[in-house]
Structure 1
Amino acid sequence: MGAAGRSGVLVAGLLWVALTAAVTDEPPVHTLAEVLFCQPAMPSLGLALAFDADQLFWFDFPGSRWTPRLPDLPPWPPALEPPSQLLRDATLCQDLRRILTTVATGKLPESKGVPVANVFPVQPLVLGEANTLVCMVENIFPPAVEISWQLDGVPVTQGVTHTHYTPTADLAFVRFSYLPVTPATDDIYTCIITREGDNTSVVAYWVPQNSVPSEVLETALCGAAMALGILLALLGIAMILAARRSAHG
């Protein structure tokens, strides 16, 4: 996939492998993807290995090593794809990008995706207790966006972490940003996504709602049901007495 314009060309090499448990006529149930991209914007290089929509490894080019997305994952076998080979592939990608930029600039429109953001907490919400907000940004293309946070309009940077770009099956990327929070009533959290060279931003808001603990909710529901039962019983008795009085009259 590629794009041409004032910012140059994004070049990406993709290796998609469909994995199925058995030979069937159904669509593949799992996809293993290794994506190498290079572009004029930052990051200029990226290499990720993803299973379905979950990133397993990303390649640290300055350190020339594979880094697992989760610390519990086993290390990547260095003999499978030597770092020297990946560095050669990255150099070839950059050379190809410069050639395509020269040929395509001014002749092909620039391709860009409109990011879609969604903010949600990692743990069930309890006001006053520590939690973590996740800003999931999808439909990223090219993979060059900045994600920032605000609380009540004030920028927040302490504790913020970002993931690397993860390729998706629709030839775009997804990225996550994490913010540790202690939510309180009337808080307004904002996740802002900006792209280099753009004058527009994508904004997603999250406002904590005063959730009721399950025990309190169950007690309230039981009390309401009991009150409704008593009310119906009294109404039934009143109707019986009224019917008897009518009969005697």
Structure 2
Amino acid sequence: MGAAGGRRVLVTGLLWVALVTAVTDEPPAHMLAEVLFCQPAMPSLGLALTFDADQLFWFDFPRSSWTPRLPDLPSWPPGLEPPAELVRDATLCQDLRRSLTERVTGLLPESKGIPVADVFPMQPPALGEANTLVCMVGNIFPPAVEISWQLDGVPVTQGVTHTHYTPTADLAFVRFSYLLVTPAAGDIYACIVTHEGDNASVVTYWVPQNPDPTEELETALCGAAMALGILLALLGIAMILAARRNAHG
């Protein structure tokens, strides 16, 4: 564990900015965070800007550019944190990681989180209608997991997209994976999460449920219930009249 733990030491730099109107003992109304991490695994470098735990931008080091999390977000201001400054920070992070690795190998245990996955549809599911399955993977540490999909035990690669890693307040990461689906009765979807270098995986299943009764079926059931009620009422009246006749007779 010692050598492996030393090689996998992760250095994370945090810059927290609390957006509050006054200095009080109350928790901040909003939180802006910029997180830089470096590690031996891929991705070897990562830089995310989040607001209230929602990722706004991700810095693409190979392309030296900021990527918005959502297409509707405005572009990153050119004069704010030029790529050259970020590259220097990343180099410092890597140098510090290598230096710490040499010093703590065999002394500190490896820090690793067990991923937790949850699968749910983006829209209310209906058999035969297009939808998107979301696999939300939390408690990721270090940020080096592979997310894949299966349908009835067969790997699925078409219609799959992944997000970058989003840092969380507990110094872990969360990542999302999306799969375009048209669910049918009997389908079994699986989201498989594997940590780099692990022999075990976390698997979460999603099975489409039968749709709710249609309006026609609901109308038919209501009509049948009403007819049954009328029949029982007539039967009750007939029994009352028969009882009265027997009493007079």
Q: TM-score, normalised by structure 2?
A: 0.88
Q: CA deviation at 1:206?
A: 0.6
Contact kept in structure 1, 2:119 and 2:135, CA below 8 Å: yes
- Report what 2:107 is aligned to: 107
Query: Partners in 2 of 1:25 and 1:236 — Cα distance?
Result: 71
Q: CA deviation at 1:133?
A: 1.0
- Report what 2:181 is aligned to: 181
Q: TM-score, normalised by structure 1?
A: 0.88
AA partner of residue 203 (structure 2): V
Q: CA deviation at 1:196?
A: 1.2
Contact kept in structure 2, 1:143 and 1:173, CA below 8 Å: yes
Query: Partners in 2 of 1:134 and 1:224 — Cα distance?
Result: 40
Q: Mark the structure with the bigger radius of gyration.
A: 2
Query: Partners in 1 of 2:236 and 2:103 — Cα distance?
Result: 86
Q: CA deviation at 1:236?
A: 5.0
Gaps of 5+ in 2: none
- Report what 2:168 is aligned to: 168
Query: Partners in 1 of 2:99 and 2:231 — Cα distance?
Result: 81
Query: Partners in 1 of 2:140 and 2:14 — Cα distance?
Result: 16
AA partner of residue 11 (structure 2): V
Instruction: Identify if the C-alpha distance between structure 1 residues 208 and 220 changes in structure 2 by more than 3 Å, giving closer, same or farther.
Output: farther
- Report what 1:10 is aligned to: 10
Instruction: Identify if the C-alpha distance between structure 1 residues 88 and 236 changes in structure 2 by more than 3 Å, giving closer, same or farther.
Output: farther
Contact kept in structure 1, 2:6 and 2:101, CA below 8 Å: no
Query: Partners in 2 of 1:14 and 1:227 — Cα distance?
Result: 69
Instruction: Identify if the C-alpha distance between structure 1 residues 113 and 231 changes in structure 2 by more than 3 Å, giving closer, same or farther.
Output: farther
Gaps of 5+ in 1: none
AA partner of residue 126 (structure 2): V
1:137-156, aligned counterparts within 5 Å?
137-156=137-156
- Report what 1:78 is aligned to: 78
Query: Partners in 2 of 1:21 and 1:221 — Cα distance?
Result: 58
Structure 1 residues 129-138 or 82-91, which shifts more? 129-138
RMSD: 2.5
Identity %: 84
AA partner of residue 186 (structure 2): D
Query: Partners in 2 of 1:52 and 1:233 — Cα distance?
Result: 61
Q: CA deviation at 1:78?
A: 2.1
Query: Partners in 2 of 1:131 and 1:63 — Cα distance?
Result: 32
